[in-house]
Structure 1
Amino acid sequence: IYWYDEEREGYAERFNTETCPDVCIPIMESIEKMLPGDQLYVGSEAWNHHAGVGVQFNNTEKVDKAISKRYGQPKDLSDYLKTAQVLGYESWRAMYEAHNRNFPKATGIIGWMHNSPWPSLIWQLYDYYLNPTGAFFGTKKACEPLHIQYSYDDHSIWIINNELKSYPDSKVFIKIYNSDLTEKLSKDLTVNIKKEKRERIFTLPAINNLSVVYFLKLSIEKNQIVKSTQLYWLTTNKDIFTGEHFWYYSPLKTHADMSLIRKMPGAHVDVVSNVQRINNTYYATVKITNSGDYLAFFIWIKLYNKSTKKIIAPVFWSDNCVSLFPGESIQIKGVIPADFTDGDIIVKTEGWNC
């Protein structure tokens, strides 16, 4: 909500040359390279050494608090890092989406920052080892040329089209589900999407008997081809600011409560993958199908070298950190320069609950 709140000093207006939510914690594979074994925990001396400079940034306590207050206390480092990716995804996506919507009042934004020049815990979409964070994929999603999005302040649904192409008679699907996947809203629209335009197309009505955590799914289809799709995990408990302002953050009095996400039922996905090398490039195709009865949440695809067991980076994915409802499938493509690996490649998926 911060990016939509006009009372916040850094909300989406004008041209912001340096800002970010600062939720850019690397994945476990990078953390294990960064820290010695006896320092492999949040808040260790080595951990804080890889944070920022100055009392404002020399630890991750503000991120730690946001994780535990919003999503519940992680049980271990692996759980902490997994939760940090989810928080980073939604935080960075919201930042860019707010600027999408508020143009031309908001003329531009430079997220701080793209990548780190050394092994770091902050300020990066992908880390020193070229592994992306959840923030990277949230940013990638928000900045797609044709995009459907939700506004956290007034519950409006917008289509942002930055393409030099119109999409007449496009189908838009808006659905809300309770945490048990009971459908609470279903709205189908036909929209003439104009080139280089942004448009409010719908505002969500008040809905009775929502679960504390619920899901909003948005999608655009043209000729039965999905052009943009989004999943938002939302809560009936909202963020409430204290009213204090600091140049580097705005403290919260009450955090939105997403902790029920930790109690998600298990889901099952089927994964079919193919990796082939053509000249100096590997091409991966991964099809994921939710064959279970519950939402498969925040599925992350990773590639590993079969011989060394080490993660391969960089991989240029068409999408990642995806969520699938029962029966849904998605096909994702990845491109890997051959210079960054040799030998056979193993495809693995890691989901929040699958």
Structure 2
Amino acid sequence: MWNHHDWLERGGQNPQGYRAAIDERLGASSSLDEFSAKAQFVNFESMRAIFEAWNANLWNDAGGLLLWMSNPAWHSTVWQTYDYNLDVNGTYYGARAGCEAHHVQADQVDWKVLAVNHTGEELRGAEVRAEVLDLSGRPLADRQRRKVDIAASATAQAFAVPRPDGDHPLHLVRLRLTHADGRTLSQNTYWRYEQPEDMRALNDLTDARLQISGARTVRRDGRLILSVTVRNRGRVVAPMVRLALRDHRSGKRVLPARYSDNYLWLLPGEERDITVSCPLGSHDRGDLEVTAQGYRTSTVSTRGRR
């Protein structure tokens, strides 16, 4: 059966290498649901890296990037940014992060930070910021800042982010690119580790507490649009928080759906406003709910309302 889902251990898919990368980082899984949750770290991280490598070499030896099979023609476990059911997982959001019109990124070898402008207009007076944080959200180093001007369809170097002093094998590097008027143009969070198995510290995070509220619903341009706020009320970071639009009665996913952002890293006390939308159809706003669940956190939900 697995072969019919492209889990072929002979051939180009090489799922045993994919599984080994997941197991090495977060340990072996005892269920398919657990494996799927762990897989999103690798999915997001690897796809973001592909597009950020393109950004780093923009117009040097890379004018574009081609993905093979952006989505599959059948239920497949490999080679997709969105799946047969039109669901979007870590791969999609990793790709979308690297493809932002304005983007800030770090080279994960030397941790030099680069600001990217994919638009046709120069960006002047922008600011690049970097924070190094532990898994409780506490700063491990002074915040770095630098003003940059980025030509149209070009990049600009900012600074390097050194590793913190002390024993912090797994920590967060959060980058932000802001407009001269203070608007955030890009926010990018890396989970930086010395060895892949250092990520297993995430398995011990039990004090993240999510709260989701709002779900105000409007009809616009043939779509139902829900606005929610998701917040981490806990004492540690909430990793890879995934929002999902569901039918309240059955609990099933509503597909396709669009999210303004997803797979979030929320620091203690941090909140994010998210919009979710789906085509008008058989669903009434009162039948919909939005759920949020991070890695190792409980699921919370809020009902759609006017």
Instruction: Give the Cα separation in 2 of the matches to 1:128 and 1:165.
Output: 37
How does 1:298-337 map onto structure 2 within 5 Å?
298-337=240-279
2:206 is equivalent to residue 265 of structure 1: yes
Q: Give the counterpart of 2:182 among 209, 216, 224.
A: 224
- Tell me what 2:48 maps to: 93
Per-residue CA distance 1:231-279 (angstroms, 9 max, x = gap): 1001022xxxxxxxxxxxxxxxxx5642222122321122122223346
Would you say the 8 A contact 1:48–1:58 is kept in 2? Answer: no
Contact 1:219 1:226 in 2 (8 A): yes
Q: When the two structures are superposed, what TM-score results if normalisation uses the length of structure 1? A: 0.77
Q: Distance in 1 between matches of 2:55 and 2:164?
A: 26
SS of corresponding position for 1:215 = strand
How far the C-alpha of 1:227 sits from its partner, in A, is: 1.0
Q: State the Cα RMSD in Å.
A: 2.0
Partner of 2:304: none
After alignment, is 121-130 or 222-231 more displaced? 222-231
Structure 2 portions without partners, runs of 5+ = 298-306
Give the match's secondary structure for 1:261.
Answer: helix
Taking the TM superposition and a 5 Å limit, the aligned residue runs for 1:218-297 are 218-222=175-179, 223-237=181-195, 255=196, 257-272=198-213, 273-278=215-220, 280-297=222-239
SS in 1 for 2:3: helix
Structure 1 residue runs of 4 or more that deviate by more than 4 Å after TM superposition? none
Correspondence list, 1:176-255, <5 A? 176-185=132-141, 186-222=143-179, 223-237=181-195, 255=196
Q: TM-score, normalised by structure 2?
A: 0.88
Q: Alpha-carbon deviation of 1:122?
A: 0.8
Question: 1:23 is matched with which residue?
Answer: none
In structure 1, give the amino acid aligned to 2:192: L
Cα shift at 1:118: 0.6
Q: Secondary structure of the residue that 1:78 maps to in structure 2?
A: helix
Q: Is the 8 A contact 1:48 1:59 kept in 2?
A: no
Residues 1:347 and 2:290 are matched in the alignment: yes
Letter in 2 for 1:216: V
Q: Which residue of 1 aligns with 2:300?
A: none
| Cα deviations by residue, 1:195-239 (Å, 9 ceiling, x for unpaired) | 3220111112353214111110001122232110011001022xx
Give SS of 1:220's match. Answer: strand
Residue 327 of structure 1 deviates from its aligned partner by 2.3
Q: Does 1:138 align with 2:138?
A: no
- Give, in whole Å, the separation in 2 of the partners of 1:153 and 1:122: 27
- Paired residue secondary structure (1:258): helix
Distance 1:58 1:48, change over 3 A: farther
Does the 8 A contact of 2:130 with 2:176 survive in 1? yes
